[in-house]
Amino acid sequence: MPWLVMGALLGLALLSAGLTWAARGYALRQQLLDQPGERRSHSVATPRGGGIAIVISLLVTAGAAMWVWPESTPSLLVASVGLVLVAGIGWWDDHRPLPAMRRLLVHFIAAALLAALVKVHGGSWLLAGLVLVFTASLINIWNFMDGINGIAASQAIVVALGLAPVLPWPYSLAAVALGLACLGFLPFNFPRARIFMGDVGSGALGYAVAVVLAIAAVRTDINWILLLVPASAFLVDAGFTLAARIISGQRWMEPHTQHVYQRAVQAGASHAQVTGMYFALGLFSITVLNVCSNLQPRWEAVLAVAWFLALSVLWILLRNGLRHRQGNT
């Protein structure tokens, strides 16, 4: 049985890689290209939409899980519908740009489905509400942060690496499947991008991350704030950048280059260097999660809040330092 599981998981990564290769061919034929621009971090026209490979791989995994564990079918179907909704609106947007509010409405419908699942499986109304808000947020955060080679997929891998060890069997397979589906896509996007994830992939990836976090919130006793720590690099960068744009009166849904990772690239760092730094920070964050996950809930929350505060200070220092460096160039 372990060999069968390992073979299936290896097959998942290979499936994702094969589908990414096929998606690249489709994008080239359809001329689905992201053009360089002042609000972009790339300098060469690049095919987009490769994230569909991750979506299909996860749906195939869900189908296999329904066959192995039939009792899980209703929950997996609901989660899969949410994934299809987010991916579908992203796929549409990749082909023909849609109004932001229309996309956001679909995101909240998918988030509501996941929140309902949490309530059905014993979660409190408070937890269901948190899942609703954070799912819609993560869908958009992964979209906002998918701006340089490899960063969105590698941070999803970080979340998977962090949550897989703390989830009981077989729920840990959800995190493993997420990580492997991203791993199959990553060689086509990092260090040199032969295809971008596109909205079909970035939004769906944020939803998939939310699904794994929701499972952990229901199936473990770990404080929900501590569970967010593996995603903290994205949460802090996206959250503070969004807040700064809203406070300054800018249109928050418009493309921009104000995230710390984008400022770092503008200051002269390569995509590989910045993605590597975020990945290293992610590895440190999952160490925090795993070290603190056996504490009393209140201490888990205290240490998680302390981690987010420390990361917020780091964000402010980096943002100010990078702004100063850009001003001197």
Residues in the chain: 329
pLDDT digits (tens, 9 = 90+) for 266-295: 888 999 999 999 999 999 999 999 999 988
Tens-level pLDDT at each residue, the chain (329 residues): 566 667 777 899 999 999 999 999 999 999 888 887 665 666 678 999 999 999 999 999 999 999 999 999 999 999 999 999 999 999 999 999 888 899 999 999 999 999 999 999 999 999 999 999 999 999 999 999 998 999 999 999 999 999 999 999 999 999 999 999 999 999 999 989 999 999 999 999 999 999 999 999 999 999 999 999 999 999 999 999 988 888 877 776 677 778 899 989 988 899 999 999 999 999 999 999 999 998 898 999 999 999 999 999 999 998 887 766 655 54
The packing angle between helices 232-247 and 297-327, to 10°, is 60
Contact (CB, 8 A) for 58 and 208: yes
The packing angle between helices 198-219 and 172-185, to 10°, is 160
pLDDT digits (tens, 9 = 90+) for 162-188: 999 999 999 999 999 999 999 999 999
Structure tokens at 165: 């060890």
Structure tokens at 16: 């994702």
Beta-ladder partners of 46: 34
- Residue 222 phi, psi (nearest 5): -75, 135
Euclidean distance between CA atoms 260 and 253, whole angstroms: 17
